[in-house]
A = this chain, B = another copy of it.
Amino acid sequence: MLSRNQAKHIQSLKLPKFRREHGQFVAEGVKLAEEMLESSFRIAEVFCMESWLKKNEAALVRKGIRFQEVDETELERISQMVTPNEVLMVVEIPEEQQDDLHLPDLTLFLDQIQDPGNLGTIIRTADWFGIGLVVCSPGCADLYNPKVIQSTMGSITRVKVVECDGQEFLARASVQAVVYGAVAGGQDIYQLEVSFPAVVVIGNESQGISKDLFPLINEQIGIPRFSAKAESLNAAVATAVICSEFRRKA
């Protein structure tokens, strides 16, 4: 039986304030839960239906993870999904270790990506294209927002994501890497000769890259437009097209 306090605690994790306070976030659904179990994330507690427990109890016991069986009504009460899916995990937010940040061959720097769906989708895309590091500016959506977590589709367990101030990160990065900035009307990415290690800066959905970061960008790049009137691409879409081009050329 789920206690009132437990339900209240889990529900509080919808809000960034309580996620910070408790250092925890929620991950839900069969697929994500199984990826969490295999990842290095520390799982505080699992609330799951009998069906899921049957398949995963051995793993939970082996790893010493606390769990509690809940019924459908209880799961609905704590779930943040439209259609709750067998299991909800409370997971510890890992502590960031930034000082020895090693740059892989391709890094994304996200400057104030504000839509949680975009942020999650970008992390999922980074996973596909083997991008080892995603750096978020402090103005990005909260990484542990349930919509971000869900839209990564499990990639959150595989892609390293850290937060860092843009000027600070790009100043450090430019010592080792070429810094590319995605900009409307930038140099045609199809023609571009790419140098690695590379950092690609993606700007805010409506404002683009912050003005104060431009001096730190070595090359402004853009996706050619094939129609006179189209105005822009979705930020996650633009990121994917650029990642694809960089990987094709690597």
Contact = CB atoms under 8 A, between A and B. Distances in A.
A127 B230 contact: yes
Interface stretch (A5-13, A137-145, A163-171, A232-240): A232-240
Interface stretch (A16-24, A57-65, A117-125): A117-125
B121 A227 contact: no
B224 A155 contact: no
A158 interface: yes
- Among A125, A154, A244, which residue has the most Cβ atoms of chain B within 10 A? A244
A153 B236 CA distance: 14
Nearest to A240: B237
- Copies held by the complex: 2
Contact of A247 (B129, B224, B231, B233): B224
Contacts of A226: 128-130, 247
A237 B128 CA distance: 11
List the 8 shortest-distance A-B pairs measured between CB atoms, nearest first: A130-B226, A130-B227, A127-B230, A237-B240, A128-B230, A241-B244, A190-B248, A121-B234
Given A124-B234, A130-B227, 16 more contacts: A121-B237, A125-B234, A125-B237, A128-B223, A128-B232, A129-B227, A130-B225, A130-B226, A151-B234, A158-B227, A190-B248, A236-B237, A237-B240, A240-B240, A241-B241, A244-B244
A245 interface: yes
A160 to B, nearest CB: 12
A229 interface: yes
A39 B224 CA distance: 24
A240 B226 CA distance: 13
Interface in A51-93: none
